[in-house]
Structure 1
């Protein structure tokens, strides 16, 4: 389909112009205009035989027009000396180079995310704003500031030591799509789909990198469960109650294959460990047959390799499954002393679950209600309140 083709070509068109003309902001704007022109024209005129060349030629013309429209004498003189021929069409996929540029350390993380989705993903400002439930003007300002921050940068291939920032940005995009932090939808499929698409392209460029492979596997294994996470009425369905026949088996097979290969051929990293945990969940025929002891072992490793508040909290859940709810509550009490977790709604949600398993019904109900009051996600609020209501009559 034309939208998918344009999104896959967006980074290549942008980088072709950047290499020729050097001004990221102006080149990215010109590339976006070319993509818009194609989106409007190709459905009626047909896709050209060489779509990438068409886009680069059109974007190059837009860039020259922008340059020549500047009224400053110096710009007019420089424009007169320019060669109007478009840059040559390269057979190289520039996705990785542009991803690294968009994750420049001078940019804030929200700006890195917005610029990546715009320049690499080909999403419009309006699409990004809708996905993150923020005003379009806010996203527009983030993108504009990001491009201004990159003004004057030398546009050579950035060092690969920026790869960790790229992985983090792609992970953030996926995570926001998998469980929206606010709003009335649990999932934002456009974000998870885009994150997987971009990570696939990154993996194609770096097929032997264990963490790139691990992140792609993690996304696939997590996305595989999406069809069963929401009921027919739109209510959240927890993992233990999901209809596993609705999980996407092709994603599970691919994800398991990827993580198995990565763990046997590359140094172990946090994305690989998270993918391994997801694989244990996905391969269990039923919730009762989940190998929680293996999951706890993996979380113990993850806590060493990449400690963090969410790792600690997720480990508590696994610990409780192995050692019982009372032991889990003791672990949770210790974890909740971390300021990063003190007011997080998931602490109360886990506490409510463990108290319910321990038979402390009133305490569980209060914890569920406290959790509902702290999340901005409407599906999560409704689920937590329904759990509290179910306990009211017991």
Structure 2
């Protein structure tokens, strides 16, 4: 169905055995996360952590950019695993700022409404039955749907829909924003949301994923004719390299769409992009910021590694018991998670208010290089919760 080919996993022995990841080790890792959340709770009650840190310290920001949902999502994870009301109270208190963001249409010209409202509002509804949160998430889905171009079958990533420099640009990150649309169809019974999501994910698989199963960060479509144009990067090393976080978004996003659609082709392409990713990991299993690098002094991206772990856990759920890669993906996800826990957390930096060190926001932009990134913290927490429980995703 799609052009991507499967290069397989080149070094099976590298992922032949799972590490010893004990229950107590996971509990200790979660306790560290909870201690950092508690440390930040007063500062980030009415404000949100900056997308990336400065000298490993997050600064207080308003509900702007694409990242506040990761902090609110961490609060919901904390509430879910502890039952402590302080986390729920803070997360519910933040819903007002998400409500105002929609009402005033401030910073809403983005596909990242999925990140924002899935983790803040869909999660609230799933965990507590909060009707206001449900309505906020449906309103966000309506705004996201406005970014859909029927002819091209894509959701434009960011910017004015009439801006010729942005018009028709889709990006690989959007695979993670689509669950908001699928969920909105489930809640409303209106298929328009699912139809847009299904069409977009197929276009993403067809055009963002190259023949070798690597990914473009961004791809332009002609929204008037529906014809594909060209791929480019915004945060990767080059237009023809493979930005690690983008590959991780694809690795997680395609299996998520499979959970809603049952389209086996999406599970197949999910395995292909996973194999490409695993074939380019260094000895400690934590990727460089672009997969063109497999050794040397370039920075790692712990946030991409955490996303990939969650993606493999999701992929594993849907593979048959006898699938040859199922155990490999499970071992690989645990190897990465153990490496993050042993080598990459802010336990090594008591001054830091973050959780995962050594992430990269956007190196070509000179942004958040070798810092904490709030999405990395969220996905690391999600990965540990997945290991410790039969977690029902917010996605």
TM over 0.5: no
TM-score (norm 1): 0.29
